[in-house]
Amino acid sequence: MRRPTALLLGAMALLAGHRATADDHVTLRMQYYREPSTRVVQPVMELEKDLPGGFDVNTHVLLDAITSASAASGPAGDNIFTEVRDEAGLRVGKNWSRARVTLAYNYSAESDYWSHVVAGGAAFRVWGDTGTLSLSAGVGYDDVGKRVLGSAPTPAITGTCIPNGTRHCPLDQRFAGFSYSQVLTPTLVVQGGYELALLDGYLASPYRSVPQQQGGEVVPDKRWRNAVAVRGAYYIPPLGMGLQLQYRYYWDLYYKLRMGFLPTAAADPLSTTGGNPWNVRSHTVEGRVYKTVGRDVEVRATYRYYSQGSAAFWCDPAGAQAMGSSCYTSAMLYTTDPKLTPVSTQYLEGKIYWDATRWRDTPFAGWFAAGTFELSYGYYWQNTSYVGAHVLQAGYTIPY
Amino acid sequence: MDFAPWLRKCALLVALGCATLAGGCAHRPPIEPWQREHLAKRAMRFDADPVEMHFRQHWFGAREGSDLGYGQPGGGCGCN
């Protein structure tokens, strides 16, 4: 599950700080993702500590143990392999009465992908602390390599840089975003925001092949990703119930049309998209229901629906060699990446939070009484070749 | 793509946003400090589980063609 931008955005998520100020805690989590061809086991530890002078520090480390049955390991035939990704991050925050500034660094390494991300964020509370304006920006520097096993054929990828057993290709990223949230009533909060990311460099997979082209995929070297999102949260005190709803719209494009690598053939199907080889559009709707059950239990139900159109240069196997298809013989950009096809997914999850206060007077278990246990299970439906996935997460957070 | 017109539009939007915020601050906040007991609840925060969100972004990004827009800090705050 190699993710160039997710590393950056994940860092941003952790970067900005999830509370107005930090509170001292340690979180231990185990996350498990299982679909027919891939299994991911991810232990995580996060630690947050208040420091004098309004400073706080947050750090996390995680391991991704990814086991796949995939041709991506290099040999012509499928091969089961396990890969480990290490990630560590550090965030320092400084708080004032109405503002918070953060600076974060994130590092991720696996056998064929290395990523460094530096990001900064600021949040300002306005209008009697009922509004929060958040700004964030970051840069990422990735290196993409390639594992070469046995007699693995090297896909004939054209372009300025092709990873192989000894050569890495760079991928630079720039990210920025802003959001504004406003408390409208004692039980209603709304938020809206915009985020963008500019990716420049090697954006293909060195392992993916396009049978119709008898070679590796050829992907644009630049991508401008955009997303706007609105969300709201509403609480119903008599029922002890909270509702959250969010909508996200995403679009992307090639951002350097005049100077970048673009198809020149007049008959190329990409011309139908106005010269934008990406042209991915997606809608995401997610709803959550929180319900307090008794004194120390809260449950959460989540439903997420996602729908996406394909990238303009996706090579539709059904269209194969037909003139006008995205993978006809002389196309200059083509991919068979499943996530650039018309993707539709749904995710349904149940989660329980349990404050272990009942253990306060219990020998040994009393050590855990100040903390909160979390357990969730979800199922992820996909219309792509990945089919579906089970997602199990367990965690424990304890203040100190 | 020429960035100049796009940047001008962004600057205009930011200026409009700041003006709106400044105008809004001239009025009393919509709620008072003693009305904020529910805002610190998990259900009222969009960023209550950052480690979980980190994991979700990673997996959604690996299986879907889009990214971004998963939210920043904000939402309910019980602080005064």
Every domain of chain B and the residues it spans: 32-64
Chain B residues whose beta carbon lies within 8 Å of the beta carbon of residue A21: 79
Chain B residues whose beta carbon lies within 8 Å of the beta carbon of residue A252: 66
Residue A368 DSSP symbol:
G
Q: How many angstroms separate the CA of residue A155 from the nearest CA in chain B? A: 21
Q: Identify the pLDDT of residue A20.
A: 43
Selection from A386, A225, A213, A206 nearest residue A316 by Cα? A213
pLDDT 10s digits, A322-366: 555 667 666 778 888 999 999 999 999 999 999 999 998 888 888
Q: Identify the pLDDT of residue B76.
A: 46
Q: Identify the pLDDT of residue A70.
A: 59
Q: Identify the pLDDT of residue B80.
A: 37
CA–CA gap between residue B51 and residue A28 (Å, rounded): 10
Cβ B58–A10 below 8 Å, yes or no? yes
Question: Which residue is closest to B60 within chain A, CA to CA?
Answer: A6
CA–CA gap between residue B62 and residue A190 (Å, rounded): 29
CA–CA gap between residue A62 and residue A58 (Å, rounded): 14
CA–CA gap between residue A234 and residue A253 (Å, rounded): 35
Cβ B35–A242 below 8 Å, yes or no? no
Mean pLDDT of chain A: 85
Is A154 within 8 Å of A164 (Cβ atoms)? yes
pLDDT 10s digits, A140-179: 999 988 877 654 545 544 456 778 777 788 999 999 999 9
Comparing A300 with A337, which gets the higher pLDDT? Answer: A300
* Beta carbons within 8 Å of A251's beta carbon, 6+ residues apart: A226, A227, A279, A280, A281, A282
Q: Identify the pLDDT of residue A267.
A: 52
CA atoms in the 13 A half-sphere facing the CB of A273:
25
- On whether any CB of chain A is under 8 Å from the CB of B25, the answer is yes
Q: Identify the pLDDT of residue A80.
A: 78
Residue A47 pLDDT exceeds 90:
yes
pLDDT 10s digits, B27-63: 788 888 888 899 989 999 998 888 999 899 989 999 9
pLDDT 10s digits, A209-238: 887 777 788 888 889 999 999 999 999 999
Cβ A3–B68 below 8 Å, yes or no? no
From the candidates A86, A106, A130, which should be mutated to test the interface with B, based on the most B CB atoms within 10 A? A130
CA–CA gap between residue A120 and residue B54 (Å, rounded): 17
Comparing A366 with A298, which gets the higher pLDDT? Answer: A298
Residue A377 pLDDT exceeds 90:
yes
CA–CA gap between residue A104 and residue B51 (Å, rounded): 15
pLDDT 10s digits, A231-259: 999 999 999 999 999 999 999 988 765 44
- On whether any CB of chain A is under 8 Å from the CB of B70, the answer is yes
Residue A383 DSSP symbol:
S
Q: How many angstroms separate the CA of residue A319 from the nearest CA in chain B? A: 21
Q: Can you tell me the ipTM of this complex? A: 0.87
Chain A residues whose beta carbon lies within 8 Å of the beta carbon of residue B67: 5-6, 9, 197, 225, 227, 250
AA identity, residue B42:
R
Q: Identify the pLDDT of residue A98.
A: 92
For residues A371-381, average pLDDT: 97
Cβ B51–A395 below 8 Å, yes or no? yes
CB contacts < 8 A, A to B, total 238
Q: Which helix (H) or strand (E) holds A374?
A: strand A372-382
Compare CB distances from B38 to A136, A187, A310 and report the shortest one's residue. Answer: A187
Compare CB distances from B43 to A12, A244, A257 and report the shortest one's residue. Answer: A244
A19-A10-A392-A364 Cα dihedral, nearest 10 degrees: -50
The rounded percent of chain A whose pLDDT value lies above 70 is 81
Q: How many angstroms separate the CA of residue B20 from the nearest CA in chain A? A: 12
The reported pTM is: 0.87
Residue B77 pLDDT exceeds 90:
no
- The full set of domain ranges for chain A reads 1-162, 208-400
